[in-house]
Structure 1
Amino acid sequence: MKKFDKDRLILGFAGPVLALVVALALTTVVLLASGQNPFEPYRIMFDSASYADVQVLIINQAGTYYLAALAVAVGFRMNLFNIGVDGQYRLAAMMAALVGASVELPGPLHIALIVIVAMFVGAFWSGIAGFLKTTRGVSEVVSTIMLNSIATALVAWMILPKNFGEQPAGSNNLTTGEIPESGWFPGLPMADGAGEIYGFTFVAAGCGVLYWFALNRTRFGFDLRATGASESAAQASGVDAKKMVLTSMLISGAVAGLAGMPTLLGDTHTYSLDFPTGIGFTGITIALLGRNNPLGIALSALLIAFLDKSSASLDQYGYEKEIATIMQGLIVISVVVSYELVRRYGIRRQQQKVGEELAAGHALTTEKEAAL
């Protein structure tokens, strides 16, 4: 039994490690092919990450990525591909910003209202895809892609000054108005003016703990994993598969709604045209690399955040900062390939072990028969 657990642990780490090694090697080849130093960019990025202010940026970005990846992971564990996290995140952030800017409440109540609105909007938007899948059999991949486009159009319409947006004097930017200070989530100031770690980053970590507990220590988590493994088998054991699909999509959307809160409540305090986009798609990469494990997702979020923030200084040394984007894309490709290779190796390894155990059992039986 111990040996089996050891093998499973090794195989669990083998996939991500192999993906990172392959992505690093391919990025080095790309640099060589372009006639650039293949190792200097990595040194520059690590040097940049040694500064305290960059480390704060990495941690803050990782918190946002972590929540987006958790939203994706909830769907993955149900064998659902919620590709609409980005639309759910942006629409939820905007609606939360609109509500937060329009009211003034005591601090905790104000923050709670903004967070609840964000979760509700995210859950509602993903729930549409869940409803279509359970009632009409529409693929969640198709419906969430379409809902991403609709969310983009809705945000663009609502932020117009003639509707719900505002245009600051002397600026071409459009915003939802600033949330009063009572709605700001307090952060953790760092020494020597290195910045502030968003308070909601710690909430993100708490969500990871809650995700692990719900998935591994509750009946709901068991039903979710069972339905994801085999819907027919789960139904045979008394699980309402359609209810689980809809519930999972609602939870995934609610967590996606939280992904905008670190930035909204800790930094911008408004939704504008400059608000980060593409977070949901990055979350897919992180969930894949982290293998839907909360700890693995955390490490993957830190890695992707490191690539994002440390690559900003590459321009100063004559290197394109898009090197980090290339590496992220190669990680996605490498993850798919490496996980399949590891899976096949694991199957062969299990078959080999079963064969060895059968041979050992046959040999023992032969010895007993000979003794008799």
Structure 2
Amino acid sequence: MTRLSPRRLLLGVAAPALALVVAFVVTSAILLALGDPVGEVWSTILSSPRPRQFVQIINAATVYYLSAVAVAVGFRMNLFNIGVDGQYRVAAFAGALFAGQAWFPGPVNILLTIVVAMAAGGLWASIAAYLKVKRGISEVISTIMLNAIATGVVQWLLLKVAVKQQGSNTISTEPIPASNELEGLGLIPGATNKVYTLIVLAIIVGLAYWFVINKTRFGYDLRATGRSESAAVASGVKVPRMVVTTMVTSGALAGLIGMPLLFGQDHSYGTTFQSGLGFAGIGIALLGRNHPIGIGVAALLWSFLDVQSNALQIRAGVASEVVFIIQGVILFAVVIAYELIRRVEVRLEQQRVARELAASRSDTPAVEGAPA
């Protein structure tokens, strides 16, 4: 069976499609039980977005995509980096603090800020890598703990360096220079807002992720370790080194999550900087099956639900939090759906192999004198 066979493609699409159907049915049942207008809710969510909303969807998907790729790098090795949210916070703060100093001219300052953010995210992730390799502590536990520590550390440091905005209770780092602000790209006709310029960064990250995972020795070792650690060791892979490299790489990619927001929207890091992006990336990576294209589709779906939920309170009289139910059910359903589809695929493959073996035996001439 070839990699791009229609059957494999159909099975790959079946799992997320089944998850969406299950999410629709379960959410509708919950709305009915609560007495909410089911038809109005779905017509609001599934209505065609306006140009401004299209831009909001693309911008949110850009950030979600970077978060999901950071998670997916670890997932491909069965390494669960649950600390992307903390790594993103540390990196966004470090990058904003550096950019606000304006030590370098515009483009150079932007590039160096991205490098600083990646270094900060990778350094924070290296703590969990060290604990796993040297102390045998599960990365799930350590990264969850480090999320809480990162939140506290960043808040404490923010109070030390914050600039108070006049007429507001918001505190933030020194705003980046006007020369560092990226105005955005006018890709959607009729929209008053613009797509983040650093959508280009997300595209580059996606292409680099695909190339490294599928076309390099490191990517092969990473996938081999994820499939069978013992087999990887037998083939010469140094698993501890792979753990450290993968975790640091995941953290460095997490450092990129806040860059579109910093240069395209907020221009500083403060108490209003968007949170929860790392946890959303976990769900999106699962929904997209850690594939760069699948993650892109999942990120667009996730941001579409987020943006469309804003009108639920006004048009349907339903709290926008109903979208959290939809997203949660999608994640729950997609895990089950992927397992069901995997079992179907294994069963079909076994049947194919059995048919080929039977055919080869029937085509083999009997040896004269051999017992029947």
TM-score normalised to structure 1 length: 0.95
Out of 226, 240, 243, the residue aligned to residue 241 of structure 2 is: 243
Query: Could you tell me whether the CA contact under 8 Å between 2:91 and 2:118 is conserved in 1?
Result: yes
**Which residue of 1 is the match for residue 12 of structure 2?**
12
Match of 1:171 in 2: 168
Q: Which residue, out of 242, 255, 273, partners 1:257?
A: 255
Deviation of 1:2 (Å): 4.2
Which SS does the other structure have where 1:10 is aligned?
helix
Q: Which residue of 2 aligns with 1:231?
A: 229
> Is the contact made by 2:114 and 2:259 (CA closer than 8 Å) also made in structure 1?
yes
TM-fit CA distance, 1:258: 0.1
Aligned to 1:269: 267
Q: 1 CA distance for matches of 2:227 and 2:35? A: 48
Structure-1 separation of matches of 2:3 and 2:236: 34
Q: Matches of 2:135 and 2:3 in 1, distance apart?
A: 46
Aligned to 2:76: 77
SS in structure 2 opposite 1:199?
A: coil
Give yes or no for contact 1:177–1:270 (8 Å, CA) kept in 2: yes
> Quick check: 2:212–2:218 contact (8 Å CA) kept in 1?
yes
- Residues 110/12 of structure 1: CA separation in 2 closer, same or farther (3 Å cut): same
**Can you list the C-alpha shifts for 1:278-333, whole angstroms capped at 9, x where unaligned?**
10000000000000000000000000000001110111121221121110010111
**C-alpha separation between the residues in 2 aligned to 1:177 and 1:294?**
35
Cα deviation for residue 77 of structure 1 reads 0.6
The Cα offsets for residues 105-152 of structure 1, whole Å up to 9 and x where unpaired, read as 211111012111110010001111111111111111011001101001
Match of 2:39 in 1: 39
Unaligned runs of 5+ in 1: none
Which residue of the other structure, out of 266, 290, 293, is the alignment partner of 1:292?
Answer: 290
Matches within 5 A, 1:141-180: 141-160=140-159, 163-180=160-177
Which aligned pairs between 1:86-125 and structure 2 lie closer than 5 A?
86-125=85-124
Q: Give the aligned CA root-mean-square deviation in angstroms.
A: 1.7
CA distance in 2, matches of 1:309, 1:3: 36
2:216 match = 218
Once residues 58 and 198 of structure 1 are traced to their aligned partners in structure 2, the CA distance between those partners, rounded to angstroms, is 11
Q: Does structure 2 retain, via aligned residues, the 8 Å contact 1:56–1:194? A: no
Question: In structure 2, the residue corresponding to 1:119 is in which secondary structure?
Answer: helix
**Alpha-carbon spacing, 1:3–1:311, altered in 2? closer, same or farther (3 Å):** closer
Task: Say whether the 8 Å CA contact 1:198–1:262 is kept in structure 2.
Answer: yes
Over the matched positions of the two proteins, sequence identity in percent amounts to 49
Aligned length: 367
**Alignment-derived partner of residue 137 in structure 1:** 136
- The equivalent residue for 2:24 is 24
Conserved in 1, the CA contact under 8 Å of 2:49 and 2:308? no
CA distance in 1, matches of 2:4, 2:110: 47
C-alpha contact 1:105 1:182 (8 A) present in aligned 2: no
Bigger fraction of residues in helix: 1
- 1:64 aligned partner: 63
Say if 1:53 and 1:195, in contact at 8 Å, map to a contact too: yes
Match of 1:188 in 2: 185
TM-score under structure 2 length normalisation: 0.95
In structure 2, distance between residues paired with 1:280 and 1:340: 24
Equivalent residue letter for 1:26: V
Give the partner amino acid of 1:181: A
CA displacement at 1:244 relative to structure 2:
0.9
Which residue number in structure 1 is paired with residue 324 of structure 2?
325
285-294 or 198-207: bigger deviation: 198-207
Gaps of 5+ in 2: none
